[in-house]
Every structure is written in structure tokens, then in C-alpha cells.
Structure 1
Amino acid sequence: MQPVRRRGQFSDHIVGLLETLELSRDERAVRGALRKFTAAAGLQHYAYVGVSNDSIRTLTDLPSEWEGYYHDAHLSAIDPVVQQARKTVKPFWWSLAQMNLVEPDARRYRDEIGEFGVVSGMTIPVQVGFGRTAMLTFMSEHDEDAPYNITALKSAVAAVAYAHLHISSDEFAARQMLSSPLTPRELDCVMWTSLGKTKAEIAQMHGISEKTVRFHIENAQVKLNATNGPHMVRLALDRGLIPRR
């Protein structure tokens, strides 16, 4: 049986998380703050997800292979917690076992993330403008009822805002580069395109043919699901694949 947690204790944990996030300026510190809060709250994992119609950014202590798979397979489109968070502005407690998952893809997602010990959790969403939603989720290995008064979670909304500001900053670009779906040459071509260079100029700079540059850029567009060059650049910037200058 899980221990009963008093609302006052939970509020203290939120205050500590806010103070740490306000002072932190790097990924390691943000991860540490989220990890400390997760443990203090008696839960097992955390996940930040920032999602729009055409891009996603995450930060989680779930195994790296899951995070990479989550990006590559575009699982945010079928993640039932993300879908619920995009429809509400209120914190909520969820249980995958108790969700009425009709679509086969959603049920498959439940089974796959369940292999990493994720059964239930609490999610605090924030609408951050331009059709984007940021959310912090703290996950449990137990299928339990909400251990907190959900109204108390409203005080955690500020924590999501702080986390969103940090994780959306350029300081996290290096981590996103490590999990980039693009090859180094594709990234290079996208970066120079973002700086206004033509295909001919990029080809001359690297001593390759313009046809080769076009090949790399077209591959990058396909991998990023971009409809054209400007869209490709925007998606690459949103995902932190190339630096903002």
C-alpha cells in the first residue's frame, strides 16, 4: 500500500522544485531538480513534453532508447496522456489501465511504455501559445488512485512554465543534436540554408556538386516531415537540431 501523502508536504516539494528551476541554467541542474521532486513525491519517473502540430521536445529520465523511439516513431500523436493534456488546462491524474483506449495504436503504446514500469501518473499541462502545449508528467509504477488532491496540483503549473523556458532554450540544443535524425552533412546543409546560403554556395563551400547538396536537403525535408525549405529550417530550429544565431 502506498503511503498517504499530505497536501502540505506536496506543496513543500513544489516550492523546492520552483526555487531550483528558477536558479538553474543548465540541463544537468534541471534534470536534478526534476529527479529530486519525483523522488520526494514518491514517484518513479518524470517527463517534460513540449509539443506543437509539427515538432516535439522532451526531457525525461526514462531510458534513452525509449526517448529516441518516442521521437522517431512520432508517438506523441498516439500518446493518450499527451492527447488529454492538449485538450485541457487542468492538472490530472491518469491510469493507463483505466483509460478507454479504443485505437490499436494507443493500446500498443500502453503496452510498450508499460515495459518501462509506467502505469499511472500525474500531468500538469500549460498552453504556451502558437498552438503549443508544455506538460510535466510524474509517473508511478503502481496502478493507484490519485494520491494527491488534484486541486493542489494547480500550484505546480509554474514549475511547468519554468521547465518549458529552460528546455526550449538554446542551452538544450546540444542534447537534441545527439539524437538528431539527420546525418552530419544533412545538418550542415540545413544550417547553411537557415543562414541564407543557396545550394550553389553551399556546394562551393564544401567542394561538392549542387546536385549533392540538393540530395542532402531533400533527405532532410523527408526526415523532418517538412513541406518545403523554410518549413524544414523552422522544424530544425524548433527541435534544436541547428543553433539559433
Structure 2
Amino acid sequence: MSAARRRGSPAAGLCPAAIDRVRIRCPQDVRRAAEALHAIAMDHGMRAAPAHNIADKHTPVDAEGNNLAREVFGWSDRKAWCGNSRIALDSPITAACRFESEPFWVNAQGFRTSLPNHYLAAIDLANFEARAMTRAAIVVPVHLPFGQIGAVSFNPLDPALTELDDLFALQGDAFGVYARTFVASYEHVMGSLQALTAAARLSKREVECLRWAAIGKTDVEIGMILNRSRATVRFHVYNASVKLNAVNRSQTVFKAAQLGYISLAS
């Protein structure tokens, strides 16, 4: 379900200086930025839970490799998402981040968003507290390049607090800016280097071959469609895989879709 957002002013509660404090420009900035995000959350009676990649069981670390969830944000491995290796599959919060790009809040009764999102209504909320590892949260999905999804969950320090509509209305947009700034700059600085260079460009023929491969056509069939030999089709697909640093045909198609060369939509 959705709830109307009550805003005092655009980006109510947003502090430009705080945005800069949560921005990471080099590895040495990570811990300072994490402490700033932690302080912002605590000022509103919340504890932040940042993840740079919801598909990765690892959580953000500082320049020395220290676990920020435990050492800065105050989560114990046994009582937080960082101690659950199945959180990406089990949690309704991570499921929602795949279908929503704007901040939302959620409890066992449903999702509240600034605009209706029918995909969220289909997410199973049974046994919510155990699966989400919180009774309620304001969540900021962070959609990054190459299809990666990060998120920051803001969870009440008071376990009895399950109604977050007022805080979401006042601070949801601000939390969104702080969370996106922290996660995106963290991934930019600390994320593994992409083997794909910015200069990599697929040719028109490579894109044509991958477009047909994406809907299941074989090299022989693609060759008949494009009036080219099977060997030529394989040559173009192989060249595309080298450019995209893909290990096989499926990953080549997937990466081409991530970069917007082709569409996987039916």
C-alpha cells in the first residue's frame, strides 16, 4: 500500500554540509563518512544498515578492512542482516529494493511509498520480523551501474516503534540523499575495479547478433536472419564477449543488456 508524503519544504531536513560528510572520495574517507551516516541516523532515533550490494553477503569495510556494520553502526553479527547469509533471498526488504528506486518504509502491515508500486503488493510479508530482522524500517534502494543494487535501511532504536509514517514524511527524502551519497561513493572508491573499460563499444553487427541471441536464436538461425555465415555470427558474439569481459554467451547477453545495448524485456 502507499501513503501520501507530507513535506514541509523540498528536501525537508536536508543539510548540505551533512551530504558532504557522508561522501567518500578516497579509502581513508570511508570510516569518517560511515560515522557521519551513523550520527545522522542516531539523531533521529534510528540505526543505519548500509549494504553496497544486496546480492553480496559482504558489507562495507573501511580502508583497513574493518567491518563497519559492527564497528561503526553497532550491529552484532548474530542480530543483524550482516550475520544472515540468506538475507538477499529471504528478506522482503531486499526483495522490495529490486522493484523500487525511491525511499519507502515498511512493517508487517505493508509497504508505504511516495507513489504507488503494485510490485510491492505482491511481496510476501509473512513472518516479517524474523525475515527482515527488524519490526519496521525506512529503506533507501540505491541502484548503481551494471545492475548492482545497494541499500540503506534505517531501523528504529526503539523496538516497540513500528509506525514510521511521520518520520518518513519529514525525513524520507533527506535519508534518501544521504544514503545514496554514501553507498554510491563507497562503491565508486572501494568497489572492485570493472574490467570493462569506458571506451568499450559494441559494433552495430555485434549488437544485432546479441539481440537475436537474447531471444534464444542459435548461431545458425542468426546467420540466416542476417544473411551471414555461422562463423561470422560466432565471430561477432566472441568479439562482444571480449569487449564486455564475459566468460560465455549468456554473460555476454546479460552484460550487453545491463549497458543498454539490448533489451531482455519480452
Q: Structure 1 length normalisation: TM-score?
A: 0.52
* Structure of greater Rg: 2
Shift in Å at residue 46 of structure 1?
0.6
Cα contact 1:7–1:149 (8 A) shared by 2: no
Cα contact 1:94–1:121 (8 A) shared by 2: yes
Cα contact 1:92–1:150 (8 A) shared by 2: no
- Structure 1 residues 84 and 102: alpha-carbon distance in aligned structure 2, compared to 1, 3 A threshold: closer
Q: How do 1:142-221 and structure 2 match up within 5 A?
A: 142-148=161-167, 150=169, 153-169=172-188, 171=190
Q: Read off the aligned partner of 1:80 and give its amino acid letter.
A: P
Cα contact 2:12–2:173 (8 A) shared by 1: no
| Partner residue, 1:85 | 97
Q: Does 1:69 align with 2:92?
A: no
Counting aligned pairs with the same residue, the percent is 14
- Structure 1 residues 146 and 24: alpha-carbon distance in aligned structure 2, compared to 1, 3 A threshold: farther
Shift in Å at residue 163 of structure 1?
1.1
Shift in Å at residue 51 of structure 1?
2.8
In 2, Cα distance between the equivalents of 1:40 and 1:157?
16
| Partner residue, 1:134 | 150
Paired residue total: 162
In 1, Cα distance between the equivalents of 2:77 and 2:56?
19
In 2, Cα distance between the equivalents of 1:155 and 1:12?
6
In 2, Cα distance between the equivalents of 1:40 and 1:7?
19
Shift in Å at residue 134 of structure 1?
2.0
Q: Structure 2 length normalisation: TM-score?
A: 0.48
- Structure 1 residues 151 and 64: alpha-carbon distance in aligned structure 2, compared to 1, 3 A threshold: same
Cα contact 2:12–2:171 (8 A) shared by 1: yes
Shift in Å at residue 21 of structure 1?
1.6
Any gaps of 5 or more consecutive residues in structure 1? 1-5, 174-226, 232-245
- Structure 1 residues 17 and 80: alpha-carbon distance in aligned structure 2, compared to 1, 3 A threshold: farther
Shift in Å at residue 112 of structure 1?
6.3
Any gaps of 5 or more consecutive residues in structure 2? 1-6, 61-68, 111-120, 193-246, 252-266
